[in-house]
Structure 1
Amino acid sequence: MASTSPAGTAAGLADLLTARLGTSAVLTDPDVMANYSRDRLPLAPSGTPLAVVLPSSTEEVQTVVRACADAGVPVVPRGAGSGLCGGANAVDGCVVLVLTRMNRIVEVDAANRVAVVEPGVINADLREAVSARDLFYPPDPASYDFCTLGGNLATNAGGLCCVKYGVTTDSVLGLDVVLADGSLLRTGRRTVKGVAGYDLTKLFVGSEGTLGVITRATLALRPLPQAPGTLVASFPDTADAGAAVTRIVAEGLVPSLMEIMDATTVRAVERHLGTDLGSGDGGGTLLLCQSDAGGEAASRELAALERVCSESGAALVHSTTDPAEGGLLMQARRSVHQAIESMGAQHMIDDVCVPRTRIAELIDGCAHISEDVGLRIVVNGHAGDGNMHPTVIYDGDDEFARARQAFDAICDLGLSLGGTVSGEHGIGKFKQDLLARELGPVGLRVHRDIRRSLDPDGVFNPGSMFDR
């Protein structure tokens, strides 16, 4: 694959890219490159890149990809580095392609409820920009105030609103993608309906940078919802909280948000924020719901949610339509990761999704795994769609092996409950074996065939998702 010309060798690649993109776009200082070499999961393997490149346009991305393909150098696409599976981690001798400078909201078409964006746009910035037009972009990962849309697209990110509005792919109409030979593929359309040809858009969403580099996305928007009403319910028993979730789904209620936190998570958040979430009043597991239906419809939905929680054994149920009070309750949920970090130890955040009727079994199973390995496991997640985030707390290298044992056992548990090993964080460089088990040999073969057909020389993100 590598060229014999000086410009087509790995040794001359950084100089070539500097000449074409400018000195500010090509970083080779080892300390600077180290900051771009991994995401927020410290446990996944990472290597030392040849260079970090920050393009400003699709044309510059094409230039980088073509030069890397010619030199036989792999390309690892990266956004803000907020991932939790090592999917954007460097491999030795690669070019880390950082897309944060491509941060334009190109267009907001209010009449057709469409936005066209570059991959470096921050999720929260798009939400704010379209809200000024009375529009709404639903996907809202917990890191929405600093994660980029490109990363959201690469991992098919979800968030707190998935129960009602779906995950990232449900809001994507089309993509611009730079392929391994540097050519530009445009997928999808701007129309509400469109079934011509294969759905290549969905193929690239969630591909974690292994099939191409997304440089532009056409996104579907929704009318801006009403300010939500909020309900919090505290349950003394996990099974009761799980029963409430099952009943909410069975009764056809569709809150815009439904989150769950186990007792250990609740206590960690209370300590972190210096607040009271009901753990001292006979409560343990916390269920947090919102309704953005507006007006009387929201009041009816909150009343129905309150009834179900009370009848399911909640020790405390409280609802409010005050945005400020609701915001404080939401702060508790969005502070979970910081609360866990404040516990003063290392942690592995798992990401399994199970049928909603089996959430309680997953939480109880995590408690048994915790006892078996002798480590704390805290559980929180999106009860509305069954996507849970058990987090294993451990202390240093001495406990790492047990922590990894617990991590894998949680994934095994999720699969045994009819679930999946990743609901929104992706596979990256940490869950390849687990993905292979979930897909099975035929599914894995098809994945590999697709990858080879689009990237026969293995330019993009080697070692992520699965081996070639």
Structure 2
Amino acid sequence: MHTDALIARLRTTLGDDGVLTDPDVTAGYERDMMPLAPHGSPLAVALPATTEQVREVVRACAEHGVPIVPRGAGSGLSGAANAIAGCVVLVTTRMNRILEVDPDNRLAVVEPGVVNLDLRGAVEKHGLFYPPDPSSYDWCTVGGNLATNAGGLCCVKYGVTTDSVLGLHVVLADGELLTTGRRTVKGVAGYDLTRLFVGSEGTLGVITQATVALRPLPQAPGTLVAAFGSTEAAGAAVTRVVREGVVPSLMEIMDAVSIEAVETHLKTELGAGRGCAALLICQSDSGGEAAHRELSAIEQVCRDAGAELAHTTYDLAEGALLLTARRAVLTALEVYGAWLTDDVCVPRTRIADLIAGCARISADVGLRVAVVGHAGDGNMHPTIVYDPASADEFARASRAFDEILALGLSLGGTVTGEHGIGKIKRDWLAREIGPVGLRAHRAIKRALDPGNLFNPGSMFDLA
């Protein structure tokens, strides 16, 4: 492998400022937000600005036998964008143009480096809405959302990223450009390659453009907060809401540890009161009488389930404060130490069992575990707090992380609802999908990337 020749070729393609090789600089591109996932030092960081430049980088790396790890903003929580030793990290943040907004057909065409919040703001001017809203929506990029099939708080009503994607442009391992999908509302021509690449974590190709579906801008939301003396009562309320067929635009749950942390961090009270075991936050963006009907029905369900408090507001500031509290959980936990957040999804009828199980794991390992998540779809984020300076606490946090994954599977769930497998859950993917599923994954990988060029070792080993 002639690395000097590769670097020279990359500089010819991208310019001197488009290729980073200083170890002090490239170190900032070695890993995402998951501290447990392994990472190495890249040979270089490439910053293409166009699809053609991506194609040239892929061709050059393929010819020199150097692996490529695609990366967005680095907000991931699974190690999927972590560098491996001697790779080229291909960063798409310079490809940040919104190429088209078509209000009549309710779609937009964007490059992968567009920040999620910027896309939302741009289409809002046309009275439209891009639904996926990961917690890092103010700095994560669409490309990263596509690679991990990211979700967010609105999933209960609007689905995850793949539900808003119509088509893609993808650079394959031979440098060819694949176009998938369509611009039409319907289309069933051939295999659904678009969904194959969404969630593939950069292991099959580099996404350089996406056509995404938009929705009419929702009405200003009404917000409900309900406090429960037990997680079982909160779980029963969630189950009943689903059974009743009410579909709020948001239904989030916070356990007692999360509530305490947020109230301390924001220096405010959420109205839960002492002894609150769980807080349910719901919103309806249906507007008018429809929102009133939805929230009234949910409030009655919560009271019937034993809620000690159930309050509905149509004041936007009050609703925003409650949502800010939900989004602030991870930041609030930092006062206690570093955090390690898990990502399991269980049947909605088992949410209370998961929270109770996490409390047992917390007591067993002797570390704080806060549970917050998307009650509407069962996607929970148990978060373990530990002292990063203590090797013992780090080991106990790692143990708790794995025990929570095992708990999720035992409850009929999955080891990831939206963060992805990355380099931290490879063994757990194999356990969940079984040998036949793993064989199918490897066959697809070999067909599209026979040289194992893209993100080798992420999701699963090829061998």
Q: 1:185 aligns with which of 173, 178, 185?
A: 178
Q: 2:38 aligns with which of 11, 34, 45?
A: 45
Question: What secondary structure sits across from 1:379 in the alignment?
Answer: strand
Residues 69 and 181 in structure 1, CA contact (< 8 A), matched pair in contact too: yes
Q: What letter is aligned with 1:397?
A: A
Cα deviation per residue 1:9-45 (whole Å; 9 max; x = unaligned)? 3332112111221001001111110111110112211
Aligned to 2:380: 388
Q: Quote the Cα distance in structure 2 between the aligned partners of 1:342 and 1:218.
A: 41
Aligned to 2:438: 444
Deviation above 6 Å: which 4+ runs of structure 1? Answer: none
Which runs of no fewer than 5 residues in structure 2 stay unpaired?
Answer: none
1:56-455 map, 5 Å: 56-343=49-336, 345-395=337-387, 396-455=390-449
Residues 78 and 424 in structure 2, CA contact (< 8 A), matched pair in contact too: yes
Higher mean alpha-carbon deviation, 368-377 vs 414-423, is at: 368-377
Higher mean alpha-carbon deviation, 12-21 vs 252-261, is at: 12-21
Cα deviation per residue 1:38-57 (whole Å; 9 max; x = unaligned)? 10112211100000010000
Residues 173 and 448 in structure 2, CA contact (< 8 A), matched pair in contact too: yes
Q: What letter is aligned with 1:372?
A: D
Residues 330 and 339 in structure 2, CA contact (< 8 A), matched pair in contact too: no
Cα deviation per residue 1:90-132 (whole Å; 9 max; x = unaligned)? 0000000000000000000000001000000000000111011
Q: Quote the Cα distance in structure 1 between the aligned partners of 2:7 and 2:43.
A: 8
Residues 281 and 315 in structure 1, CA contact (< 8 A), matched pair in contact too: no
Q: Quote the Cα distance in structure 1 between the aligned partners of 2:333 and 2:305.
A: 28
Aligned to 1:6: none
Q: Quote the Cα distance in structure 1 between the aligned partners of 2:202 and 2:12.
A: 26
Aligned to 1:5: none
Q: Quote the Cα distance in structure 2 between the aligned partners of 1:109 and 1:46.
A: 41
Q: Quote the Cα distance in structure 2 between the aligned partners of 1:390 and 1:75.
A: 32
Higher mean alpha-carbon deviation, 34-43 vs 11-20, is at: 11-20
Residues 226 and 281 in structure 2, CA contact (< 8 A), matched pair in contact too: yes
Q: Quote the Cα distance in structure 2 between the aligned partners of 1:208 and 1:403.
A: 25
Cα deviation per residue 1:242-274 (whole Å; 9 max; x = unaligned)? 000000001111000000010000000000100
Q: Percent identity?
A: 71
Instruction: Tell me if 1:458 matches 2:438.
Output: no
Cα deviation per residue 1:271-297 (whole Å; 9 max; x = unaligned)? 010010134344231100000010011
Question: What secondary structure sits across from 1:390 in the alignment?
Answer: strand
Question: What secondary structure sits across from 2:361 in the alignment?
Answer: helix
Question: What secondary structure sits across from 1:389 in the alignment?
Answer: strand
Question: What secondary structure sits across from 1:381 in the alignment?
Answer: strand
Question: What secondary structure sits across from 2:280 in the alignment?
Answer: strand
Q: What letter is aligned with 2:364?
A: D
Q: Quote the Cα distance in structure 1 between the aligned partners of 2:36 and 2:47.
A: 25
Q: Quote the Cα distance in structure 2 between the aligned partners of 1:112 and 1:63.
A: 33
Q: Quote the Cα distance in structure 2 between the aligned partners of 1:17 and 1:460.
A: 17
Higher mean alpha-carbon deviation, 402-411 vs 46-55, is at: 402-411
Q: Quote the Cα distance in structure 1 between the aligned partners of 2:334 and 2:367.
A: 15
Q: Report the Cα offset of residue 392 of structure 1.
A: 1.3
Q: Quote the Cα distance in structure 2 between the aligned partners of 1:265 and 1:334.
A: 11
Residues 169 and 207 in structure 2, CA contact (< 8 A), matched pair in contact too: yes
Residues 39 and 81 in structure 1, CA contact (< 8 A), matched pair in contact too: yes
Q: Quote the Cα distance in structure 2 between the aligned partners of 1:318 and 1:341.
A: 29
Q: Quote the Cα distance in structure 1 between the aligned partners of 2:261 and 2:131.
A: 28
